Amino acid sequence: MYWLDLTLDSPAANLALDEALLEEIQRQDIPQEVLRVWEPRDTMVVVGRSSQVATEVRLDECARRGIPIFRRSSGGAAIVTGPGCLMYSVVLSYELRPELRSLEWAHQFVLETLADALAQLVPGVQRAGTSDLATCDLKKFSGNSMRCRRTHLLYHGTILYQFPLNRIGSCLGTPPRQPEYRQGRDHAGFVTNLPVGVDPLRETIRQAWGPSRVLDDWPRAATQRLVAEKYSQNTWNLGR
């Protein structure tokens, strides 16, 4: 597995790079894997591939605050992210891990790998619902989603550690689908920051996956193309 600790200059480029990593490994048709971590430089809303923007996002409030809205390549509902929220992405090979063709097992494998590692920093960390990580009191600090292709899958998500949590309720409406463990709580009562610094958080994630090589030659051209064709376009970001 390769390791890539890289935050690009723009939100669009950072989202595009996740998809470019999946696309490039798929194109090479060899069983490589990549783990990436990055942290947004500014606050932004990121909706899921099939999200209804007007339903999930408080558009007037985002416009008033100057918070941009982007769409990612994977599923799930809208999130708010920015400084104080570490993002991770892992591209995994079906050839190396054929059991991951089961979506339920893919969720279980990735989230339990992360939960077991993070529990060394904060006891009681656990998988909750389908694709969340939560503290021992069932407060969510990580939302996750995946994109499946022919030979690989992309699994990526958020880890709140020092994020201004009030921005979540300000920017997002009530999610259209809620896990049972949420028990009707509003955003303020449901989400929390993981009480850990970013450096041990980043290192714990790296150790959990054990990448053996640094990825120096990341897909620059594919990232630029995806920014131009998709992630800078309102037809993609706001089109649903």
Give 175-179's long-range contacts (Cβ < 8 A, gap of 24+): 175/56, 175/77, 175/78, 176/52, 176/55, 176/56, 176/77, 177/77, 179/128, 179/129, 179/130, 179/132
- At 201 the pLDDT is 98
- At 30 the pLDDT is 74
The tokens for 64 are 């008033």
The tokens for 26 are 């798929």
Measure the CA–CA gap between 186 and 164, rounded to whole angstroms. Answer: 16
Measure the CA–CA gap between 203 and 220, rounded to whole angstroms. Answer: 25
- Are 210 and 119 contacting, i.e. CB atoms less than 8 angstroms apart? no
- At 176 the pLDDT is 81
- At 192 the pLDDT is 98
Report domain 2-237's class: alpha beta
- At 175 the pLDDT is 85
- pLDDT tens string for the chain (240 positions)? 999 999 999 999 999 999 999 999 988 877 899 999 999 999 999 999 999 999 999 999 999 999 999 999 999 999 999 999 999 999 999 999 999 999 999 999 999 999 999 999 999 999 999 999 999 999 999 999 999 999 999 999 999 999 999 999 999 998 888 999 999 999 999 999 999 999 999 999 999 999 999 999 999 999 999 999 999 999 999 987
Tokens 């994109």 sit on residue = 147
Cα 115 to the center of its chain, rounded Å: 15
Enumerate the domain spans of the chain. Answer: 2-237
Consecutive H or E run containing 203: helix 198-209
- At 170 the pLDDT is 95
Strands 69-71 and 34-38: unpaired
CA proximity to 110, closest of 86, 85, 146, 79: 146
- Are 71 and 47 contacting, i.e. CB atoms less than 8 angstroms apart? yes
CA–CA distances in Å: residue 174 to residues 88, 171, 186, 208, 231: 25, 10, 8, 33, 25
Classified as helix, coil or strand, 37 is strand
Give DSSP secondary structure letters for 142-174: EEEEEEE-SSEEEEEEEEESS--THHHHHHB--
Question: Greatest CA separation found in the chain?
Answer: 47
CA–CA distances in Å: residue 109 to residues 56, 98, 127, 209: 28, 12, 10, 11
